[in-house]
Structure 1
Amino acid sequence: MIFRIVFLCVILLVIELYTFQVLKTLIKSRPVLFSIQIISLLVLVYIVYSLMQFDRNSGQTKQLMVVMGLLLIVYVPKLILTFILMGEDIFRVGTGAVKYFVNYDKNADFLNSRRKFVSQIGLGLAAVPFLSLIYGVTIGKYNYKVIKQRIFFPDLPDAFDGFTITQISDVHSGSFDNPEKINYAIDLVNEQNSDMILFTGDIVNTDAKEMHPWIETFNRIKKHEYGKYSVLGNHDYGEYITWPSEAAKEDNFKAIKDLYGQIGFKLMLNEHTFIEKGDAKIALIGVENWGHNFKKAGDINKASQHVNKEDFKILMSHDPSHWEHEVQHHEKNFHLTLSGHTHGMQFGIEIPGYFKWSLAQYVYKQWAGLYENVGRYVYVNRGFGFHAYPGRVGIMPEITVIELKKGVNVA
């Protein structure tokens, strides 16, 4: 832990050095430059001190989220400045080397003075993530979007043609700080008037107590005609802090499972049920968390033990890597999998229908939205809440409405 802190300090000091060079090039007033340096130093000391106070017995706290937000807001723009100035340094040294060794100019300057326009360009580019990250923590984290997705299946029972499902995921209630915004989101959920609602895990960050102030709010989610169902996410197992005893960890896990029932959802633990409409039925299957790089408690074979290959099946599985590694080629043919988990890393660029990018795509092949393989689909919800970074930029909190349609997608 100490080594990591020291390494981080060295990186931050290098970034501060390059940032100072930009400011020195553009700001000629010594008092202003000195004031900026003092503020930067105080911010750096606060961040380092707060990180050193991190306690695995407590896990993520509101203060830690503030620190993470401050770290990104302050140092992502400065990191961009650093890369630009490093690039300029490489060019300056390269130019000097050519003059000295190729042109035999013995007076060649290997580090001639910085060009003002480079610093101006760097500052302009750095302003983009700076303003975006501020937007993310003030507005973006509660900028809920209702995303509607129609999916066609040739073998969907006729009675379920037009059946609608609202999906929410990754609530992370321990991160919330604005009751008005959460109530607004619950109103959006209710306005969809779907036939069924599914919650694909992560009701808390770690501790069951995080949800207690929000139980009444989430109990406002109205009853849906065909039920309210949920599964667990990786954070629901309480494995990211150090517990005083194994018994305390188990008590917390039991309390987290109980939370789902307290807000009116049937928690499915490696099991299935049949949703019946008229004389037709579809199978709803819910597994515990199964992640390629996370806890593997999900047992898809156990959950679907008495489900036939011919049955139309909807699977709830928190982590989309489960679909990638086990579900999409499973012999029982799971028609639609609903997942979450990635949050789209809460940072990216989306132009619906045209362009979608996030660092999440370098970790997960399926990270936001709908994906298909030989007629089997997975939908990855971008998440209802937020975690670690207390904001969202480009990848907004999502309420999904999926409409099942019988037929073939001709698009």
Structure 2
Amino acid sequence: MLRWIFFVILYLILGFYSLQAVKTASRYPWVYYTFVALSLLVLGNFIYQFTFGSEEGRVLSIAKSYAFGFLLTMLAFKLMTVIFLFSEDIFRFISGAYQKLFGIEKKFTFPERRRFLSMVALGIAALPFGALLYGMYKGKYNFKVLKYTLEFDDLPNSFDGYQITQISDIHSGSFDDKSKIEYAIDLVNEQKSDVLFFTGDMVNNKAEEMHDWKDVFSRLEAKDGKFSVLGNHDYGDYVDWNSAEEKEENLNDLKKLQKEIGFDLILNDSRYLTKGADRIALVGVENWGRGGFKKVGDLGLASQKISADDFKILLSHDPSHWEDKVIDDPYHYHLTLSGHTHGMQFGIEIPGWIKWSPSKWRYKYWAGVYKELGQYINVNRGFGYLGYPGRVGIWPEITVITLKKKPLA
């Protein structure tokens, strides 16, 4: 609750400041009053949704998610405006102080705001405003297929050219367009990969969120099977329950749903993928996350049935597990597949030039493929979205990885 109060207070403070730019830039009073009305409408809807809105079994219902999204959009607009106005006010203060010290009238007065600078501020502020609106309207379903080829010295010969598809962070409780999800499922199947991995967060909180999407996701195909693990949201830790038994029943319902969809859910356990006489060890851990996130993943328990000499693929939802526990493990996990970060659903990515998101301030490994100590991790940017109902620059991802035998030198 405190964080929402903070957003409201910040919104009001920035709103008062940004109104000065609108008032200075526009010659028409109706523009000013329209901006005031729009600001109050967005704020009023946010307060209503988070005070009286129904939870409908989710941390954020779709209505609440959009209320937060529009508030965030207006905040971004106002913040950019304020940055320009504040810089101008510093100049105005210095100019006023100079007049008081060295001017003829020896009094302190602020020079008037410059209309041109206010117009520039509003123009630049319109960029993040438009981007965030686009992210809610189009960006959240702008699915991208990202392909990687990874080479290994000790890859079993039969798996040379073996293709993996990974999806992560479905967050089905946030979806609001079935046709877009059906398109994405078709896109996954078009890759015709040998195996499909899902690395956690099927729902926001409750298994019932997946009921309307079960038939759609049941269409996922992979000839060697579909395998999954749980993410932090799958345990129902972020919503109130009437009893511990109710919470446990929800988790069991989700596990059952995964089976009905066709996933082999791996809970601190392992499987083998075989081709002829060769095999790959597939290890799946329950969620383990740094900080306050659930830590029930047990890498040692999950690997009891496999050999240290096996080529290994690890499914682990949170990439902090790889950094803190996996990299230095003597078993050497060749490839880890994770998700969780969503790339914060906002950033800038231009291949070969720039890759940035606020997510990097929290996670060292936050999106894409990384290599440490001869081991790889792919951090999937996520299939769905949570909180802000959109994506800007960090698009929903379907990962395709081809395993290759490294040629002899």
Answer yes or no: same fold by TM over 0.5: yes
For structure 1, which runs of at least 5 residues remain unmatched after alignment? none
Change (3 A) 1:11 1:110: farther
Q: For residue 376 of structure 2, what is the aligned residue in structure 1? A: 377
Measured after TM superposition, the shift of residue 6 of structure 1 is: 4.5
Aligned to 2:246: 248
- Alignment deviations for residues 92-111 of structure 1 (CA, whole Å, 9 cap, x no partner): 2234335545x476635452
- Aligned-residue identity in percent: 50
Partner of 2:177: 178
Contact 2:164 2:194 (C-alpha < 8 Å) held by counterparts: yes
Q: TM-score, normalised by structure 2?
A: 0.95
How far apart are the structure 1 equivalents of 2:232 and 2:3?
A: 25
Structure 2 residue runs of 5 or longer lacking an equivalent are: none
- Residues 77-116 of structure 1: matches in 2 within 5 Å? 77-101=77-101, 103=102, 107=106, 109-116=108-115
Q: 1:276 aligns with which of 250, 274, 277?
A: 274
**Per-residue Cα deviation, 1:364-401 (whole angstroms, up to 9, x for no partner):** 00111000112111000011111111111111111110
Residue 286 of structure 2, aligned match among 285, 288, 291: 288
- Which runs of structure 2 are paired with 1:381-396 in the superposition (5 Å)? 381-396=380-395
Counterpart contact for 2:200–2:228, Cα < 8 Å: yes
Matched ranges for 1:230-269 at <5 A: 230-269=228-267
Q: Is the 8 A contact 2:287 2:297 kept in 1?
A: yes
In structure 2, the residue matched to 1:338 is 337
The 3 A distance-change label for structure 1 pair 240 and 68 is: same
1:228 corresponds to: 226
State TM-score, norm by structure 1.
Answer: 0.94
Q: Is the contact between residue 54 and residue 61 of structure 2 (CA under 8 Å) also seen in structure 1? A: no
**1:156 deviation in Å?**
0.8
Write the deviation string for residues 326-355 of structure 1: whole angstroms up to 9, x where unpaired. Answer: 111111101100000111111111112321
State the AA in 1 paired with 2:77.
Answer: P
Shift of 1:61: 0.7
Do the aligned residues in 1 keep the contact of 2:58 with 2:204 (CA within 8 Å)?
Answer: no
The DSSP-based 3-state class of the residue aligned with 2:378 is: strand
Secondary structure (helix, strand or coil) at the match of 1:401 reads strand
> How big is the shift at 1:185?
0.6
- 216 and 7 in structure 1: CA distance in 2 versus 1, 3 angstrom threshold: closer
Instruction: String of CA shifts for 1:237-256, please: whole Å, max 9, x gaps.
Output: 00001111111111101111
Q: Secondary structure at the match of 1:399?
A: strand
Where does 1:63-212 land on structure 2 (aligned, <5 Å)? 63-101=63-101, 103=102, 107=106, 109-212=108-211
CA 1:28 to 1:160, structure 2 compared with 1: closer, same or farther past 3 Å? same
Deviation string for 1:177-220 (max 9, x for gaps)?
11111111111111111111000011111110110011111111
Q: Which moved more, 1:190-199 or 1:22-31?
A: 22-31
Does the 8 Å contact 2:25/2:116 carry over to 1?
no
Task: Please give the secondary structure, in 2, of the residue aligned with 1:289.
Answer: coil
Q: Aligned partners of 1:191 and 1:262: how far apart in 2?
A: 22
Matched residue, 1:33 = 32
Q: Tell me which amino acid in the other structure corresponds to 2:402.
A: E
Which amino acid counterpart does residue 72 of structure 2 have in structure 1?
L
- For 1:106 and 1:62, the matched residues in 2 are separated by 59
**Residue 243 of structure 1 aligns to a residue in which SS?**
coil
Q: How many pairs align?
A: 407
